[in-house]
Amino acid sequence: MTLLKSLATRLYTQRSHTPGSFSIYIHWPYCESKCTYCNFNKYVNPQHPPHDRLINAYKSELQYYFSNEAKYKLKKRKVHSVYFGGGTPSLMKPSGVRAILETIDQRLGLNNDMEVTLEANPTSIESFKLRDFKRAGINRVSLGIQSLITEDLRLLGRDHSGQESIKALLLAKEIFGEKRVTFDMIYGRPGQTAKGWVQELKQALELAGDHVSIYQLTVERSTPLHKQSLKKQLPHIPDVDTAADMYEKTVQIMKDYGYTQYEVSNYAKHQEAISRHNFSYWQGMDYLGIGPGAHGRLADFELKQKVRTFGEFHPNKYINLCEQEGEGLRKIEPVPLTILAEEMIMFGLRTRMGIPRTRFTDTTGMVLDNFLDRDALKMFIDLKLLVDEATIMDKKIHNYTPKELIQEWNTSGGIRPTDAGLEKIDYILPRILKTREG
């Protein structure tokens, strides 16, 4: 038995009676139209979408995981969060959302204070439907606003206007409250200037709730936007220096408006507004991926290691599999401990919380410092880009760390970026990771 295999076996033997919490991701594959920059697994909404069959497929797949107790031990584990993403899950019937949440609650139990998020586009929500989603069990909504400028929205392939974005945001705040509403914005768009972005961002923040996600546009290969760019059919896309200027201005403006940058692209006004679900990805927690093309990461207690799950891509194939087999999986593959460890470092250091040594060891069975280049670590600490703490030292940790995760710093501390380090984290990460041998 190899050393890593031995570590994995010992780790899961120790945890066999007290496995950790996990999150659930539900993927709705349909959109009214496909955005020009998107390369996710999504399909244009058919005239008669197979809503009821798809909901039943989700329920079957959930039951498959819940019933496979020897393998996943989900009944003994607490549900950390539930997230309906896509696609455009607000195209679902609220009754479908309710049925999924009832399936989870009946088998595992859901807490009233647990985060249950639904992604929504401004064109796909109406007052009666959004209220019905809340009645169905949704307690947090994430709006795909992207821009307040209608012309730019058309360029991105969005099917709502700037005015609809504003109306949707005001409505969501009325129904869910300031603490439970977030929205996405994109900068670095074709033809955009730093001055124009500053004006637009400030306008959005005058209307915002307590959480905002802000991303730089990435032109992914094979997307319509990429093809238009190659054919010189787009206004000039901001260069690297302009995009960096936009990022710096964004960070400062968010701070001026009372937000804390707790991850490279995410900002919250206080601890309660921090996205719990996203932290399950960033901190290496398990998550159950349900739906066409959905990915998951789970502890397999029979194999005694983490595995990745991949759902069948096409909705019809996924539904047929669930109806025939009880699950819609395309494949399951083991996650080597070294890959898991490196992912925890890559994702963890993109958050201000960083990487607690306790969580790293509990998840991988290994020591964090063995994966880091010590000379590079010392250099970045001396440059005040990283901090290595033996225990909780920062009194502001509550501003950028969910309350349930703060305790993980008490035992052995960890490594986290400073504000300046977060800005340069893409430069830091490849240099701090120790080169893998072999």
Nearest to 287 by CA among 16, 80, 40, 2: 80
Domain assignment of residue 288, yes or no: no
Last residue of one domain, picked from the residues 250, 280, 310: 280
- In the block, tokens 């005040």 appear at 384
In a domain, 352, yes or no: no
Residue at 222: amino acid letter: S
Per-residue pLDDT, 159: 80
User: Same domain for 257 and 117?
Assistant: yes
Rounded Cα gap, residues 434 and 11, in angstroms: 23
247, pLDDT greater than 90:
yes
* pTM > 0.85: yes
Give the number of domains in the chain.
Answer: 2
**Residues 140, 182 contacting (CB under 8 angstroms):** yes
* Nearest-10 crossing angle of helices 94-107, 127-136: 10
Q: Is the pLDDT of residue 5 over 70?
A: no
CB-CB contact of 269 with 211 (8 Å): yes
Reply yes or no on whether the pLDDT at 370 is more than 80: yes
DSSP string, 253-304: HHHHTT-EEEETTEEESSGGGS-HHHHHHHTT-EEEEESTT-EEEEEETTTT
pLDDT, tens digit, for every residue of 79-130?
999 999 988 899 999 999 999 999 999 999 998 889 999 999 888 676 678 9
Share of the chain above pLDDT 90, in %: 72
What's the pLDDT tens digit per position in 204-246? 999 999 999 999 988 777 777 777 777 777 788 889 999 999 9
List the structure tokens of 8. 């994995």
From 280, 297, 328, give the residue that closes a domain. Answer: 280
Region 291-319 average pLDDT: 95
Q: How far apart are CA 412 and CA 402, in angstroms?
A: 18
Instruction: Answer with the one of 280, 300, 333 that is the final residue of a domain.
Output: 280
Lowest average pLDDT, out of 42-51, 300-309, 366-375, 396-405, goes to 42-51
**Whole domain around residue 158: which residue ranges?**
3-12+20-280
Q: Annotate 377-399 with b (16+ C-beta within 10 A) or e (fewer).
A: beebeeeebbbbbeebebeebeb
